[in-house]
Amino acid sequence: MSRSGAAAEKADSRQRPQMKVNEYKENQNIAYVSLRPVQTTVLIKTAKVYLAPFSLSNYQLDQLMCPKSLLEKNSNNEVACKKTKIKKTCRRIIPPKKKTTSKSESVLQNSASAVHTESNKLQSKRTADAMNLSVDVESSQDGDSDEDITPGLDDFSGLSPYERKRLKNISENADFFASLQLSESAARLREIIEKRQPPKSKRKKPKRENGVGCRRSMRLLKVDPSGVSLPATPTPPTLVADETPLLPPGPLEMTSENQEDNERFKGFLHTWAGMNKPSSKNTEKGLSSIKSYRANLNGMVISEDTVYKVTTGPIFSMALHPSETRTLVAVGAKFGQVGLCDLTQQPKEDGVYVFHPHSQPVSCLYFSPANPAHILSLSYDGTLRCGDFSRAIFEEVYRNERSSFSSFDFLSEDASTLIVGHWDGNMSLVDRRTPGTSYEKLTSSSMGKIRTVHVHPVHKQYFITAGLRDTHIYDARQLKSRGSQPLISLTEHTKSIASAYFSPLTGNRVVTTCADCNLRIFDSSCVSSKIPLLTTIRHNTFTGRWLTRFQAMWDPKQEDCVIVGSMAHPRRVEIFHETGKRVHSFGGECLVSVCSINAMHPTRYILAGGNSSGKIHVFMNEKSC
């Protein structure tokens, strides 16, 4: 009989369908129905049944029932444990309960009635067979029994799992932000900003009782070590760099700025006035050979006795007096000074005299070819003056306050007519025989700027001008007031041109100094036709901002050789042949600076170089020293 009961029980368990989580099941030992929330996963419950033999004679019908108290006890313990876990892990606000639809209520009622009838059938069968059952249900869900006891969870019965999770996150985020108390912090910060006061001024240092502040040096207190107050230093006059007032028109008295001995100065003027006869140039001998010329150059030396400090500013122009008995050097400086130096005077400081006939740089300086006792100087300030040592005055030759002069040269042997170049590209013809200080003709050229003007030594009607990138040769007889056209233009230069000069004896050569670091020599033997380029000598002409620009000059005794300063180390002055070969380099221990402006004596082997600090360096034969 026991075997037949066990077989019936197994068949009954096979016929029962497997229950899913989202279905409703009525507990056999509990009088009410519990609704379970819908989950996303499907879990299957497995029932374990333990069978034991029994006899009907030993037990009554009432005792065959499974004790209800035991089941209730176990279920109550599990529900209590899970309830405490839910309270610890999830703190949330339960939304208001939602009403379920009528369709869902009908489905729930039908499933509950079906479960109830099935449970009655099982109980009737168990009355026939006496057995001791203990059911242990294992579930993987976390909240299987929470809904039965925990109040308020039925509110989520009509929501999907995603909506329940979203509501849960919203409630948790609200609790988190409420715990941060951001609104209170923002209100306190706003009050602090509104109540903040502007920054206070620096704290004033408290005054000492004895009236002495912090410790200061005696130099700042302007007292000597003994405590005696030093005399107040006079404030230097403020100098305005832009203001360069012109000197008054008319002749200026020749007064020395560095010499105060009147007797010595009168002797100096008498010496210069006595050399009023021009030197006789013997050009019939022709040029000497390069070998003999180089030998004479090798005998020229420099010493400390031939280095003179003449002016306070950079030297812009230089000229050597043609005297064959005395060595006289004249220089024009940046600040309008004209310095005269007699190298035969001892001590050498007594042979230097400085005058101030101009207010701006003296860019051109020549001794008169008709009377060497006259020295003509031209300045940026728009004045051209003649220093007459016999009368001890600087006579005004030409004045134009509306323009700035750059260079000039003589158009005649008697030095009566001059050609003057302007920085704005104009040119002036000046006749010294005409009363007054005005020009005879003012002409405009096609050049934007004129730096140097030089007249042909043989054909005095021709002169050459050097400008920005143009070198033009003009005929003085064809100058017009407007739009004067040059006879020939030299277009081989690529940058600005510092100077352009004819060769001193025949004028058959032209040398130009360009900022592209090249010295160019042209063949000017036929001025009426195109002038070809003969030689290009590579030479560093980049002097920078603080040095005077190089100007290559011809040697008056050897017109096929050019003299120019150098940026090379050790410092030197170089001489090149018209073919481009270096003939000689002047140097020595006493030459420690760059000589930008150089001049050679017309008949003697004497070379003078001026630098940008107002010093002249003279190279001469040892016999002449």
Residue 59 has pLDDT above 90, yes or no: no
Q: What is the pLDDT of residue 64?
A: 45
Least confident range from 92-106, 184-198, 533-547, 591-605: namely 92-106
With contact defined as beta carbons under 8 Å apart, do 20 and 42 qualify?
A: yes
Least confident range from 7-11, 467-471, 492-496, 517-521: namely 7-11
Task: Give the structural domain span for 303.
Answer: 252-277+289-620
* Cα–Cα distance for residue pair 492/371, rounded to 1 Å: 38
Residue 504 has pLDDT above 60, yes or no: yes
Q: Which conformational region is residue 336 in: left (phi greater than 0), alpha (psi within -120 to 50 degrees), or beta?
A: left
* Cα torsion through 17, 21, 23, 27, rounded to 10: 80
Residue 158 has pLDDT above 60, yes or no: yes
- Residue 51's pLDDT band (cuts 50, 70, 90): low
Report pLDDT digits (tens) over 332-361.
999 999 999 998 888 888 889 999 999 999
Q: Work out the burial of residue 496: count CB atoms within 10 Å of its CB; fewer than 13 is exposed, 13-18 middle, 19 or more buried.
A: middle
Decide: helix, strand or coil at residue 328: strand
Residue 173 has pLDDT above 50, yes or no: yes
Q: What is the CATH number of the domain that holds 366?
A: 2.130.10.10
Residue 79 has pLDDT above 90, yes or no: no
**Average pLDDT score, the chain:** 77
- Residue 433's pLDDT band (cuts 50, 70, 90): very high
- Residue 23's pLDDT band (cuts 50, 70, 90): very low
268 domain-assigned: yes
Residue 477 has pLDDT above 80, yes or no: yes
- Residue 200's pLDDT band (cuts 50, 70, 90): low
- Residue 238's pLDDT band (cuts 50, 70, 90): low
Residue 75 has pLDDT above 60, yes or no: no
293 domain-assigned: yes
545 domain-assigned: yes
Preceding omega of 278 cis (within 30 degrees of 0): no
Residue 539 has pLDDT above 80, yes or no: yes
Residue 444 has pLDDT above 70, yes or no: yes
- Residue 151's pLDDT band (cuts 50, 70, 90): very low
Q: What is the pLDDT of residue 625?
A: 56
Half-sphere exposure of 29 (CA within 13 A, CB side): 15
Q: What is the pLDDT of residue 203?
A: 66
With contact defined as beta carbons under 8 Å apart, do 428 and 439 qualify?
A: yes
With contact defined as beta carbons under 8 Å apart, do 393 and 253 qualify?
A: yes
Q: What is the pLDDT of residue 219?
A: 83
Averaged pLDDT for residues 15-44 = 44
Residues 6+ apart with CB under 8 A from 571: 587, 591, 592, 593, 594, 595
* Cα–Cα distance for residue pair 108/32, rounded to 1 Å: 13
Q: What is the pLDDT of residue 264?
A: 85
Q: Which of 18-32, 185-199, 278-292 is predicted most confidently?
A: 185-199
567 domain-assigned: yes
Report pLDDT digits (tens) over 507-522.
999 999 999 999 999 9
Phi, then psi, of 559 in degrees rounded to 5 = -75, 0
214 domain-assigned: no
* Cα–Cα distance for residue pair 497/466, rounded to 1 Å: 6
Q: Which residues pair with 375 in a beta bridge?
A: 367, 387
* Cα–Cα distance for residue pair 555/509, rounded to 1 Å: 12
More confident residue, 228 or 140: 228
195 domain-assigned: no
Averaged pLDDT for residues 563-590 = 95
Residue 239 has pLDDT above 90, yes or no: no
* Cα–Cα distance for residue pair 236/586, rounded to 1 Å: 42
- Residue 86's pLDDT band (cuts 50, 70, 90): very low
CB burial of 556-566 (b: ≥16 within 10 Å; e: otherwise) equals bbbbbbbbbbb
- Residue 590's pLDDT band (cuts 50, 70, 90): very high
**What total of structural domains would you count in the chain?**
1
- Residue 584's pLDDT band (cuts 50, 70, 90): very high
Residue 41 has pLDDT above 70, yes or no: no
Q: What is the pLDDT of residue 582?
A: 95
* Cα–Cα distance for residue pair 202/199, rounded to 1 Å: 9
* Cα–Cα distance for residue pair 276/278, rounded to 1 Å: 6
Q: What is the pLDDT of residue 357?
A: 94
* Cα–Cα distance for residue pair 43/385, rounded to 1 Å: 122
593 domain-assigned: yes
Residues 6+ apart with CB under 8 A from 349: none
178 domain-assigned: no
Q: Which of 179-183, 218-222, 451-455 is predicted most confidently?
A: 451-455
Q: What is the pLDDT of residue 366?
A: 96
Residue 300 has pLDDT above 90, yes or no: yes
